[in-house]
Amino acid sequence: MTAWPSTAAPPVTPWRSLVAPYHQPDSKLALWQVSTSFLPYIALWYLMVRSLEISYGLTLGLAVLAAGFLVRVFIVLHDCGHGSFLRSRRWNDAFGFVGGVLSFTPYHYWRHTHAIHHATAGNLDRRGVGDIWTMTMREYREASPWCRLRFRLYRNPFCLFLVGPVFVVLIKNRFAGAKFGWRWQRSVLWANLAMLGLGVALSLALGVQSYVLIQLPVLIFSTAFGVWLFYVQHQFEGVSWQRQQHWDHFTTAMRGSSYYALPKVLQWFSGNIGFHHIHHLSPRIPNYFLERCHRENPLLQKATKLRLFTSLRSIRYRVWDEERNRLVGLGLPWL
């Protein structure tokens, strides 16, 4: 599908009327998604426990599958955070909190920072919350050697997709940013206590070593896949980022987010989040309606389309070149 040229303005359209029919949650679809996400994840956890008696290689194989279901659990959490998964805010928050405990994500605080991400995505003047650290070429050139090194290490694929995500879920997610105040510190504290309680209970039942041998690989695999999805949906060839005075919601959604056309099995495990342009256009659409919205509205099919293998080129991008209006690399991609 051909995307709009980077110099062309998007067509004027009452796009809100296009997405409005998909805003009403469907309780049956939502509960079915819960049953096909949470329950298989719990069942696989049990199988991994039993597999430790046979072979740790088998445990790791099951961990890959469990990681896929944990990504689905996170997508449920994600939609609950937008209030789009179910009609009831109470049930959205309940499922979101439980999903957060399983995925080591403080639900209420994450919901707050993710809302900031939606309000600032693609805005060069409002970077820094809920996004991937991206510098402009000018900022990089004017930065100190130490800052450049930190940035290169941060954008190193090994750090960005393996070390970094595990650090975030195990360490960074245990604290709320100081600027957000006590309300969010308290919400993170309650989430931490729930995660600690679950971890202690499982460790007492199985032993600390068994708990770590199961939970750690699941987190490594799931967070690597999750961060890759988030990365490629906003860092790709042809993406549009603007300064505040030129920023608008429709353009940012359609040209600042990709349509990641994944194979069906990966689309299922990722909860249709590959239709990210539509999600940013209207976060009120639950994930189980994103594909239908895309299919039934030709206008919304004009976002940049990425395939699984062609999307790997996005790894090379590092900084935003304002003169050329595009993401560019810095050379030496391993750094």
| Tens of pLDDT, residues 234-289 | 999 989 899 999 898 898 899 999 999 999 999 999 999 999 999 999 999 999 99
User: Does residue 304 sit within a domain?
Assistant: yes
User: Does residue 186 sit within a domain?
Assistant: yes
Domain span holding position 42? 18-328
User: Does residue 87 sit within a domain?
Assistant: yes
Instruction: Tell me the C-alpha distance between 171 and 83, whole Å.
Output: 27
Instruction: Tell me the C-alpha distance between 320 and 97, whole Å.
Output: 36
User: Does residue 13 sit within a domain?
Assistant: no
User: Does residue 9 sit within a domain?
Assistant: no
119 in Cβ contact with 283 (< 8 Å): no
Both tokens of 22, joined, read 């998909």
Instruction: Tell me the C-alpha distance between 4 and 218, whole Å.
Output: 39
CA distances from 312 to 157, 221, 232, 306, 308 (A): 11, 17, 8, 9, 7
User: Does residue 6 sit within a domain?
Assistant: no
Q: Which pLDDT band holds residue 181 (cuts at 50, 70, 90)?
A: confident
CA distances from 249 to 151, 174, 282 (A): 28, 32, 10
Both tokens of 217, joined, read 């690989």
pLDDT in tens, 21-51: 999 999 999 999 999 999 999 999 999 999 9
The burial class, CB within 10 Å (0-12 / 13-18 / 19+), for 68 is: buried
Comparing 73-82, 172-181, 200-209, 309-318, the range with the smallest average pLDDT is: 172-181
Question: DSSP class of residue 159?
Answer: I
What's the whole-number average pLDDT of the chain? 91
State the total domains in the chain: 1
User: Does residue 308 sit within a domain?
Assistant: yes
